Structure 1
Amino acid sequence: MLEFSLVQKVIIWAIPVLFAITLHEVAHGWVALRLGDRTAQMMGRLTLNPIKHVDPIGTLLVPGILLLMGGFIFGWAKPVPVSYQNLRKPKTDMAWVALAGPMANLVMATIWALVAKIGLSLVQSGVGLGEAMMFMGVAGVLINAMLMMLNLLPLPPLDGGRILVSMLPGPVGWQVSRLEPYGFFILLGLLYFGILGMILWPLISGLLSVLATIFSLPPQIFSIL
């Protein structure tokens, strides 16, 4: 792992983090719109303007502190509002709305892997811009892989939890959904005791290996940050 100054870290991570969080939320709203709910559209949340989605704590403070600590980086934006009752098939459609966010992160991770590949090629050709592209591409892959796997955990209010509730029979799904007010605290507990990393890192590493294979990237490239 290379050593970077605080300014360098911010330059490398800022754009990937903002895109990862913003497009994740827009994807939820866009799929909800296609399935009959115009709430996000009417509230001006179907926009790529990050200011509309930034949560001061989840988008700026938490990722910033974790970046300084050099540990597991994650964050969140202001959730895009979805009116369950407006969906054409509320129970089924809610699963698709929830899945849209992690799938957006998967697409972005793939695009950033391509950026990293181009940057690496430029570095090998002696082009100065290549190093910046490579570092930012790697950061983009890492943050999107982390957000994708984190959000797929079957814990309300994470997307995976909403998907699980939608798939379970009504009474059972309702019981699971009652965990939602405590989900964030459960997540913090898992993070504090190191359990979250034990669950997520094998999944994240698997995705990184797949992307490295697809784009013919050296596996160790994702260890430079």
Structure 2
Amino acid sequence: MDQFLAFPLEQIPYVVIALMIAFTIHEFAHAYVAYKFGDPTAKNEGRVSLNPLVHLDPIGTLLIFIVGFGWAKPVPVNRFYFRNPKLAGPLVSVAGPLSNICLAFLFMVIWFLFTAVAGGTSEWLHSFFVINVNLNLILAVFNLLPLPPLDGYRIIQDLVPNTTRAKLNQYEHYSILIFLVLVITPLGDFIFLPLFHTVVPFLFDVMSSILMPLWG
């Protein structure tokens, strides 16, 4: 069975916990920032919440175990409510990936603290921290890709002129089809895996280099 999973069986409990935390914080960040800018849509649907059950998407969660990345339920956003649309749009979109990067850094800080105080961590605790840091970084990088329905695409939509946005909207359904093909077929391995294998370790090393001088 291991050969069909992106993670070894013994790591699955850690992955489940990491996903519940990462997806919940990601979607909560989108919903909270949108609400603060005047959009009550997500709040009215109960998405300004730290309850994982309101955020997890069955298919997106399952893909994490199979291919190593996935997504949660998209937070509903109505940009017509925004008090400052040009500022609010990009901030709402980037809030999710940024929250995962912050969460990864927080787990690394706690990991370093455990190591400094206890002189090391047990094997299971080491695995727990590594998985939480890496999964949050993977989710951040994945969601910043400029493909619909990911956050990276929404950021571009919010930053380009209205005429360009209208053209993007015309071809969005084709872009979503391309995205799905990449996700569910081996073609995605040629795009996603090289990206994850370069950007995620880079971010990991950057965070480590920030913390290492503090703990020697």
Asked if Structure 1 and Structure 2 have the same fold, meaning a TM-score greater than 0.5 normalized by the shorter chain, the answer is: yes
Query: 1:175 and 1:23, CA in 2 relative to 1: closer, same or farther beyond 3 A?
Result: same
Aligned ranges for residues 22-171 of structure 1 at < 5 Å? 22-59=24-61, 61-66=62-67, 73-121=68-116, 124-125=119-120, 130-171=122-163
Segments of 4+ in structure 1 off by > 6 A? none
Say if 1:122 and 1:165 are closer, same or farther in 2 by CA, change over 3 A: same
Distance 2:196 2:160 in 1: 23
Cα distance in 1 for partners of 2:70, 2:156 equals 22
- Secondary structure in 2 aligned to 1:157? coil
Residues 130-178 of structure 1 show CA distances to partners (whole Å, capped at 9, x for unaligned) of 3332211111111111111111112222111111111111111221233
Relative to the length of structure 1, the TM-score reads: 0.81
Q: Give the AA of the match of 2:92.
A: V
Aligned CA distance change for structure 1 residues 33 and 215 (closer, same or farther; 3 Å): same
Match of 1:208 among 188, 192, 204: 204
- Structure 1: how far apart are the matches of 2:113 and 2:173? 43
TM-score (norm 2): 0.84
Gaps of 5+ in 2: 1-6
Amino acid at match of 2:210: I
Cα contact 2:55–2:73 (8 A) shared by 1: yes
Identity %: 36
CA deviation after TM superposition for structure 1 residue 198, in Å: 2.3
Which stretch has the larger CA shift, 112-121 or 83-92?
112-121
Distance 1:209 1:42, change over 3 A: same
Say if 1:151 and 1:119 are closer, same or farther in 2 by CA, change over 3 A. Answer: same
How many residues are paired up? Answer: 203
Which sits farther off after the overlay, 96-105 or 178-187? 178-187
Give, in whole Å, the separation in 2 of the partners of 1:147 and 1:26.
14
SS of 2:75's partner is coil
